[in-house]
Amino acid sequence: MARLPRLSFPGLPHHVIQRGHNGQPIFLRPSDYQYMLNLVLEYAREFDVAVHGYVLMPNHFHLLATPIAADGLPQMLQSIGRRYVRYFNDAQARTGTLWDGRYRCTVLQPEKYVLPCMVYMDANPVRAGIAASAADYEWSSHGHYVGRRQDRVITPHAQFWGLGNTPFAREAAYGALVQEGIASSLQQTLTDSTLKGWALGDAVFVEKLQKETSRRLTKGQPGRPAREKKQQ
């Protein structure tokens, strides 16, 4: 079956997952994580992509980002991928592929899924057992959103600004969201939609997007289409 083109809609947030080949590590040293963040900052600026959140895990990474142009996100990720593979292979005296195929991506309905997706990403190190809390993990955007540090990579989404009228109020509200977490069913929905490339939103949101592309945005019904009956 032919692969569906990846989603890329200007002005809308996208959740991206890129994994290491066969689950292998893609970050081995602190300098590897920092090099990746430097690339994200460089190419986000070059291709006009606003990065709202990230988490770099030992064998994969997540981004939440909004491109200004339809080709901005693919260009950014392709540039990051190529540069990072060269860097990593040189540093480890290795050759060959690093990524587990193409990056995976979904487009999100902002008011329903931006904040849950940020919480989902921040909780990733906790779910993986490599951090006791989101605040204990260095390589995510969590610290920026709870006021622990300023992160040049990050451009907060409007949904974050809506959490409060002051920086302290927004930081406290976001920290509470992360502390509360999201339901396992929503976590699974975010994962599945991203890995399978389905748009994530309500029927009205998806229907509006479908008018802009011939690419199928939701899972099709199993089986072959029913044949029309011949008129007698």
Type of residue numbered 204: V
Residue 102 in this model has a pLDDT that exceeds 60 = yes
pLDDT in tens, 60-81: 999 999 999 999 999 999 999 9
Q: Is residue 218 part of a domain?
A: no
What is the pLDDT, as a whole number, of residue 53? 98
Q: What is the pTM of this model?
A: 0.91
Q: Is residue 121 part of a domain?
A: yes
Neighbouring residues of 141: CB distance < 8 A, sequence distance ≥ 6: 52, 53, 54, 55, 118, 121, 122, 151, 153, 154
In this prediction, residue 218 has a pLDDT band, given cuts at 50, 70 and 90, of confident
Q: What's the mean per-residue pLDDT of the chain?
A: 92
pLDDT in tens, 168-212: 999 999 999 999 999 999 999 999 999 999 999 999 999 999 998
For residue 120, give the CATH number of its domain: 3.30.70.1290
Q: Is residue 161 part of a domain?
A: yes
Q: What is the mean pLDDT of residues 212-224?
A: 70
Residue 36 in this model has a pLDDT that exceeds 60 = yes
Paired tokens of 19: 């994994």
Q: Is residue 170 part of a domain?
A: yes
Residue range of the domain that includes 81:
14-205
Q: Is residue 229 part of a domain?
A: no
Q: How far apart are CA 101 and CA 122, in angstroms?
A: 24
Paired tokens of 100: 């587990």
Nearest in space to 135 (alpha carbons), one of 150, 151, 146: 146
Split into its structural domains, the chain has a count of 1
Q: Is residue 154 part of a domain?
A: yes
Q: Is residue 24 part of a domain?
A: yes
Q: How far out from the chain centre does Cα 4 lie?
A: 18
- DSSP-assigned states of every residue in 85-125: HHHHHHHHT--S--BSSS-EEEEB-HHHHHHHHHHHHHTHH
What is the pLDDT, as a whole number, of residue 5? 73
What is the pLDDT, as a whole number, of residue 216? 85
In this prediction, residue 13 has a pLDDT band, given cuts at 50, 70 and 90, of very high
In this prediction, residue 3 has a pLDDT band, given cuts at 50, 70 and 90, of low
Q: What is the mean pLDDT of residues 109-113?
A: 97
Q: Is residue 227 part of a domain?
A: no
Task: Report helix, strand or coil for 231.
Answer: coil
Neighbouring residues of 23: CB distance < 8 A, sequence distance ≥ 6: 59, 100
pLDDT in tens, 121-157: 999 999 999 999 999 999 999 999 999 999 999 999 9
Is the four-CA dihedral 199, 200, 203, 209 of positive or negative sign?
negative
Q: How far apart are CA 19 and CA 57, in angstroms?
A: 9
Across the chain, which distance is largest between two alpha carbons, in Å?
Answer: 74
